[in-house]
């Protein structure tokens, strides 16, 4: 009897860890856990987490932005490789971790991401629960420990409507006005395939695995009422071969974005006892807005009267870039998993809000702060913060490191009363950019 009680306590502890992981990753409620694949909703971006989870509208040098809005892929240039890590329940279970690797390719305002598809070894996202009890056919009996995880592999595509149309028109010999400098619409998709080996505790009997496919869709609108810079500047790097004016030149960009995560998903619940397919129509919608103000390079970095620019100018970007953003997240789904156990299909609805700000100096150091409110789901609310370091040379190569901190729910450590100390997660990421066209311009002395 005591052995069975210990096993039951062990299993219940694992259930709480899963709940903590889902809530700590910033889901609008634990509803996704009901569906059995929370990894498809998680936010692996330290930049977004540091700004209160506001990653749908305002773009940035963030390889994990497409997880929040596939339309951000349209900003990809050259080749980018990035890696993100987040310990979701520190102090309680160090081996519960979210890992994400991203590979993106881009040119001419068209971007492509390879996150494990079609090549399994290139990228992907894994929610690793560590070693959990393997459940037997007799309820709480265990047959040892096994590594359990959820994995998502995807590929994505995005483009900017106006700038792409202007480029195609140029190939046909037509010259359209540069509308894309003042307004543009980005559209993006991600096609995902997920697999979970986590043994669900409810319903009973537990499935051996959960598999399926899903699709993300996103839109992003940019309007630039003020564009008083001599060149296009995005994320601290100059493009279009233009030169920035000294302080006094300024660009103002207004953004609005919306995305639907798992806008269409088919899930297969394969069990030892009653293998039946089930469709889990789960959708998470992000709606956001933002403002970005960019100034020109400092005067001492500008070209002289002979058109020569100091070499230091290739290492630095705009004097200041200030960004503010807000976001609302809502989730609604009717999990067919309940029908599987002969129960009526309830509809789960959850919501969350967040806002944040970012200040970047000389395209090198970024400071971020924000606030997240998920009190309607797991009672998580509080401030967020983070920073980023970006070393780049012209528009050729760049290396970036980002780190964030955001609050987790109250959970008691073993032996403590309920309502223990508040914990915080600290995701981090790094990325490397190589732009072959920019490298070529540097080699040619342009």
Span 170-181, pLDDT tens digits: 788 888 887 887
Tens of pLDDT along 275-296? 444 444 457 889 999 999 988 7
Q: What is the pLDDT of residues 37-53, one digit of tens each?
A: 667 778 899 999 999 99
Provide the phi-psi class of 61: left if phi over 0, else alpha when psi is between -120 and 50, else beta: beta
Judge contact between 37 and 385, C-beta under 8 A.
no
Q: Using the structure block, give the residue that is written with the tokens 């590594």.
A: 147
The whole-chain average pLDDT of the chain stands at 75
| Token pair belonging to 346 | 């309830």
Q: Any bridge partners for residue 269, and if so which?
A: 210, 276
What is the full DSSP assignment across 426-440?
A: --EEEEEEE-HHHHH
**Who wins on pLDDT, 308 or 367?**
367
Higher-confidence position of 351 and 103: 103
Q: Yes or no: say if 277 and 246 are a contact pair by the CB < 8 Å rule.
A: no
- Enter the DSSP assignment of 116: B
pLDDT at 2: 42
- Percentage, residues of the chain above pLDDT 70: 65
Structure tokens at 150: 């959820």
d(CA 329, CA 216): 15
Distance CA 280, CA 291 (A): 36
Q: Which residue has the tokens 């329940």?
A: 89
Q: Is pLDDT at 351 greater than 90 in this prediction?
A: no
Whether 17 has a pLDDT exceeding 70, the answer reads no
Identify the top-confidence range among 2-6, 146-150, 327-331.
327-331
Q: H/E element holding 170?
A: helix 161-171
Is residue 414 within 8 A of residue 437, CB to CB? The reply is no
Q: Rounded to an integer, what distance in angstroms lies between the CA atom of residue 322 and that of residue 317? A: 13
Q: How confident is the model at residue 219 (pLDDT cuts 50, 70, 90)?
A: very high
Given a cut of 90, is residue 233 above it in pLDDT?
no
Confidence label for 249 from pLDDT (cuts 50, 70 and 90): confident
**Prediction pTM value:** 0.82
What number is the average pLDDT over the span 43-64?
92
Is 77 within 8 Å of 441 (Cβ atoms)? no
Distance of CA 440 to the CA centre of its chain: 31
Q: In the structure, what pLDDT confidence band is assigned to residue 127 with cuts at 50, 70 and 90?
A: confident
pLDDT-derived band at 421 (thresholds 50, 70, 90) equals low
Is the N-terminal amide bond of 196 cis, ω within 30° of 0? Answer: no
Range 441-446 average pLDDT: 78
Please tell me what DSSP assigns to residue 39: G
Separation of alpha carbons 193 and 177, rounded Å = 41
| Region of poorest pLDDT, from 153-157, 165-169, 250-254, 369-373 | 165-169
Mean pLDDT, residues 78-107:
88
Helix, strand or coil, per DSSP, at residue 238: strand
Top pLDDT among 108 and 247 is at 108
Mean pLDDT of 87-116: 86
Give me the pLDDT at residue 168, please.
83
Q: What is the pLDDT of residue 297?
A: 72
**pLDDT score of 344:** 46
């Amino acid at each position: 009897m005591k052995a069975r009680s210990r096993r039951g306590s062990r299993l219940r502890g694992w259930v709480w860890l899963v709940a903590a992981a889902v809530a700590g990753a910033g889901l609008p409620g634990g509803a996704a856990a009901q569906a059995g694949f929370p990894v498809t909703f998680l936010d692996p971006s330290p930049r977004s987490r540091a700004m209160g989870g506001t990653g749908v509208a305002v773009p940035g040098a963030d390889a994990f932005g497409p997880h929040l809005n596939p339309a951000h892929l349209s900003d990809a240039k050259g080749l980018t490789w990035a890696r993100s890590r987040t310990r979701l329940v520190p102090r309680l279970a160090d081996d519960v971790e979210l890992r994400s690797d991203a590979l993106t390719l881009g040119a001419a305002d068209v971007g492509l991401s390879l996150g494990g598809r079609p090549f399994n070894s290139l990228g992907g996202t894994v929610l690793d629960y560590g070693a959990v009890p393997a459940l037997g056919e007799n309820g709480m009996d265990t047959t040892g420990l096994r590594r359990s995880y959820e994995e998502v592999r995807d590929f994505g595509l995005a483009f900017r409507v106006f700038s792409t149309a202007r480029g195609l028109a140029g190939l046909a010999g037509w010259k359209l006005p540069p509308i894309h400098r003042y307004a543009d619409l980005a559209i993006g998709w991600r096609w995902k395939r997920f697999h979970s080996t986590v043994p669900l505790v409810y319903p009973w009997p537990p499935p051996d695995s959960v598999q399926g496919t899903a699709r993300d869709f996103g839109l992003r609108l940019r309007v630039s009422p003020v564009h008083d810079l001599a060149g296009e500047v995005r994320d601290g790097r100059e493009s279009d071969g233009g030169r920035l004016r000294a302080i006094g030149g300024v660009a103002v960009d207004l953004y609005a974005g919306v995305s639907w995560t798992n806008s269409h998903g088919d899930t297969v619940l394969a069990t030892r006892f009653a293998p039946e397919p089930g469709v889990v129509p789960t959708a998470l919608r992000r709606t956001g807005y933002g403002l970005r103000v960019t100034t020109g390079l400092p005067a001492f970095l500008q070209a002289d009267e002979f058109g020569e620019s100091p070499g230091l100018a290739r290492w630095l970007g705009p004097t200041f870039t200030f960004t503010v953003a807000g976001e609302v997240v809502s989730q609604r789904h009717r999990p067919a998993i309940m029908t599987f156990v002969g129960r009526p299909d309830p509809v789960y609805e959850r919501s969350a809000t967040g806002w944040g700000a970012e200040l970047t100096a000389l395209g090198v150091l970024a400071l971020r702060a924000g606030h997240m409110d998920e009190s309607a789901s797991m009672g998580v609310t509080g401030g967020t913060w983070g920073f980023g370091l970006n070393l780049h040379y012209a528009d050729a190569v760049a290396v970036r490191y980002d780190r964030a901190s955001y609050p987790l729910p109250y959970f008691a450590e073993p032996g403590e009363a309920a309502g223990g100390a508040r914990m915080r997660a600290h995701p981090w990421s790094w990325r490397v950019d190589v732009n072959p066209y920019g490298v070529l311009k540097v080699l040619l002395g342009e």
